[in-house]
Amino acid sequence: MRVMILVLLCLSFTANAQVAPETVGQEKLAAPGPGWFLVQSWTAATLFDSETGEMQGTVTVSPLTPAIEPNFPRKEIYAAESFYSRGVRGERSDVLTIFDAENLRAIDEVALPPKTTPLWFRNYIGLLDDERHVAVFNMTPAQSISIVDVVDREFAGEISTPGCALILPVAKRSFIMICGDGSLQLIRLDENGIEAKRTRSKSFFAVEKDAVFDQVARTADGWLLLSHEGLVFHVTTKGDDIQLSKPWSILTDKDKEETWRPGGLQIMGYHRESGVLYVLMHKGGIDTHYEPGEEVWLIDMARQKRIGRMAFEVPTKSIQVTQESAPKLLALTNEANVEVYDGQLLRHLRTIKSAGASPQFLQTLGRHD
């Protein structure tokens, strides 16, 4: 038998004698282009280039990790992960994992209180503008925030935030949270990541009557909020004060008659250079805010007017827009495909099939996007 194997091996080498044997290589992630985005899925964030439709790599995380936070200037990516020592049982350990952004491998971790919150929300994690502190949302169901110093790789502390959720980073080492009483909360940290100042806005929406979505979009100096009934709010800060624009509706009376509403898992994307808001829309009654979108509407924020609309061929659950000068509209369908469109002409460019296992939302790679 051994002789036979030897003979076969010799024959095999002889047959391939003319070809130089290959070795297995290992790619590194290139510097992300402006059209890159990721798809957050069950246990992974998968990177794609919308220009080519090609997949670029994967960041593998614990099941139900809400989102990853890229920090490409430091060549790092962060994710709050939660594990049990025996799979679905045993001792629970939560960590903020630091991934090397070139090799997409975990290179370090910081222990967190075992309170991190599962399920996919982009704004359950946020790198603050000092590029040192990362905020992670907790729910036990008491709500709080864990702060990690990613430069010194230290847990900086926990901040109790009863009644408020989500992390919307703003200037001066601060972040805004949306609260169940219809207000916003601004928390500013000191250089050690300890709470230095807390400010609360007045209540400006009624959660029972017309709640703002728990999905937001970043502007040049703040965040856009959109209500279930189509009201837009622009939130900015001035010092430690929260500033709210006068709300206005993306819906005309005719739109309302036709029962158009925003809805889906990821309902909007904002192109900062042109000031155009892309909103996923469907026809439906109240409490249909998860209904997949039938159309995307383009809203000129300066003129407060719809400037375009396009019907999707298949139900679409999440949208995002790239921040290139000529933006691309990304649309995640119920079939787990990402449809890429020219964001201005609304012309279909390509389909990225099988964009992840149970893909949830799309994220471009700019800060807080």
Partner 1 sequence: MKRNSLIDNAWQWLDRKTDRSSRQLARRTSRRSFIARLGMAVAGMSVLPLLPVMRAFAAENLKETGDPRSCDYWRYCALDGTLCSCCGGTQSSCPPGAEPSPISWIGTCRNPVDDKDYLISYNDCCGQDTCGRCGCHNTERERPVYYPSKAGAVLWCFGTESRTYHCTVGVVLGEASDAS
Q: Is 289 in the site for partner 1 (CB under 8 A)?
A: yes
* Binding piece for partner 1, criterion CB under 8 A, among 11-19, 27-35, 68-76, 212-220: 212-220
User: Of 322-351, which residues contact partner 1 (CB under 8 A)?
Assistant: 334, 336
Instruction: Say how far apart CA 93 and CA 84 lie, in whole Å.
Output: 6
Q: Is 317 in the site for partner 1 (CB under 8 A)?
A: yes
Q: Is 89 in the site for partner 1 (CB under 8 A)?
A: yes
Q: Is 180 in the site for partner 1 (CB under 8 A)?
A: yes
* Binding piece for partner 1, criterion CB under 8 A, among 46-54, 133-141, 323-331, 339-347: 133-141
The 3-state DSSP composition of the chain as helix, strand, coil percent (nearest 5) reads 10, 50, 40
State which of residues 22, 253, 257, 287 lies at the interface with partner 1 (CB under 8 A). 287
Instruction: Say how far apart CA 221 and CA 188 lie, in whole Å.
Output: 16
Instruction: Say how far apart CA 42 and CA 45 lie, in whole Å.
Output: 8
Total residues contacting partner 1 by CB under 8 A comes to: 47
Q: Is 140 in the site for partner 1 (CB under 8 A)?
A: yes
Please check whether residue 278 is in contact with residue 298, taking contact to mean a CB–CB distance below 8 angstroms.
yes
Q: For 21, which DSSP code?
A: P
Of 30 and 119, CB closest to partner 1: 119
Cis-peptide, bond into residue 359, ω within 30° of zero: no
98: three-class secondary structure by DSSP: strand
Q: Is 164 in the site for partner 1 (CB under 8 A)?
A: yes
Burial of 15 (0-12, 13-18, 19+ CB in 10 A): exposed
Phi-psi region of 172 (alpha: psi -120 to 50; beta: other; left: phi over 0): left
* Binding piece for partner 1, criterion CB under 8 A, among 101-109, 234-242, 246-254, 281-289: 281-289
Residues that bind partner 1 (CB under 8 A): 42, 63-64, 82, 84, 88-89, 92, 117-121, 139-141, 143, 163-166, 177-180, 207-208, 211-214, 264-265, 287-292, 315, 317, 334, 336, 354, 357-358, 360
